[in-house]
Amino acid sequence: MSARAGHQELGEVVLQVKDLRQLYGRGKRAFHAVDGVSFTVFRGETLGLVGESGCGKSTTARAVLGIRPPTAGSVALSGVELTTLRGRALREARSSMQLVFQDPYNSVNPRWTVRQVVAEPLRLARWTSSKARTRVDELLDLVGLDPARFGDRSARQLSGGQAQRVGIARALTTDPELLVCDEAVSALDVSVQAQILNLLDHLKRELSLTTLFISHDLGVVRHVSDRVAVMYKGRIVETGESDQIFQNPQHHYTSLLLHSVLEVGVEPGSATRRPIEVQASQGDPAAGCLFAPRCPGAGDICRTTEPELTPISLSHAAACHFPTGVAGPTRRSTSQ
């Protein structure tokens, strides 16, 4: 049984995002960074949110976390609507969501010891020093850092991987309902990335973590995600279980993303690299599919009618008038 199907049957919805919109600017200069995004994250699963830089992934994360309130839409955590909360109620809700940052160094105070960094949320929650120390040591051990060796080191003495482990430990102090990883391994060396991804996978199984994992790296997303949502210019264009997305993409943008990256474990310059073949973009269309100017399978309807996210199967959907139906992109006549 798929992870998605199992969670649906149990009804364990942790995060429900509906028609999320984030508008910057006003009037003719207004820009929709996020435009009608909807998705669900079920308890104990990892949803990967993937797309090119600037597509709205991090803006979506900030809206979910309440760092910047969305212009419109709904964000519900375990059934509680977050966009209507204010003051203390909002602060308490935020404690149930924690963020693992992209840069492990800039997300910690370099002058603090590792224990001080991890204990900061507990200090704000008014834990006693002895209770907080016990909890911190447990978490350091959980993320693979020996408290006796690392607890009293300053954060500036850590390697990138060690610093990110500290960031993960800090995020877990409050037993969050939702962990948001925003490009959490992109600043690390490839070998260290693998270690952190394996750690996240271990923590998911150990703690039944529910995670929204945001990345532009398809290989990373495939490694950690149960389901994947693909974003393009502020919209979700395809969703499905990880194997469905990577083995049988239905949206031409997803196919082109997959064909533009190296296979896992293949060295740069290898003949297995597949280049993107797209039509030159002449700017965003006034109507229709946003991807139409770049799409190798676009027809006339693509330039006039915006496609809706339509089910391909029970757990797979794509916003495409002409789904690929195969593992790679197929060209269609532009007169269709």
For the residues of 193-251, what is the DSSP string, one character each?
HHHHHHHHHHHHHHHT--EEEEES-HHHHHHH-SEEEEEETTEEEEEEEHHHHHHS--S
- Counting the structural domains of the chain, the total is 3
> Which structural domain range is residue 131 located in?
107-175
Instruction: Give residue 187's identity as a one-letter amino acid code.
Output: A
* Residues comprising the chain, all counted: 336
Buried b (16+ CB within 10 A) or exposed e, 128-137: eeeebbebbb
Angle at 48 between CA 320 and CA 305, to 5 degrees: 15
> 16 and 86: one domain?
yes
Residue 245 has pLDDT above 80, yes or no: yes
% of the chain residues with pLDDT over 70 = 85
Whether 101 is covered by a domain: the verdict is: no
Measuring CA to CA, which residue among 205, 164, 202, 210 is closest to residue 186?
164
**Among candidates 269, 209, 179, 228, which has minimal Cα distance to 47?**
228
**CA distance linking residue 229 with residue 64, whole number of Å:** 15
Q: What is the pLDDT of residues 274-305, one digit of tens each?
A: 443 333 334 444 579 999 998 988 899 999 99
The residue from 134, 154, 175 where one domain ends is: 175
Residues 228 and 255 in one domain: no
What's this model's pTM, rounded to 2 decimal places?
Answer: 0.86
pLDDT score for 10: 44
Q: What are phi and psi of 49, to 5 degrees?
A: -110, 115
**Same domain for 76 and 191:** yes
- Domain co-membership, 236 together with 331: no
* 92 and 193 co-located in one domain: yes
Q: 17: pLDDT confidence band, cut at 50, 70 and 90?
A: very high
Domain shared by 318 and 170, yes or no:
no
Residues 257 and 292 in one domain: yes
Look at residues 191, 223, 247 and tell me which one is the last residue of a structural domain: 247
Instruction: Evaluate if residue 71 carries a pLDDT over 60.
Output: yes
Q: Is 63 helix (H, G, I), strand (E, B) or coil?
A: helix
Q: Are residues 64 and 7 in the same domain?
A: yes
pLDDT in tens, 298-325: 899 999 999 999 999 999 999 999 998 6
Starting at the edge strand found earlier in the chain, the sheet holding 80-81 runs 31-42, 13-24, 72-77, 80-81
State whether 72 and 114 are in the same domain: no
Report the alpha-carbon angle 105-126-116, nearest 5: 25
For residue range 119-175, list pLDDT tens digits in order.
Answer: 999 988 889 889 999 999 999 999 999 999 999 999 889 999 999 999 999 999 989
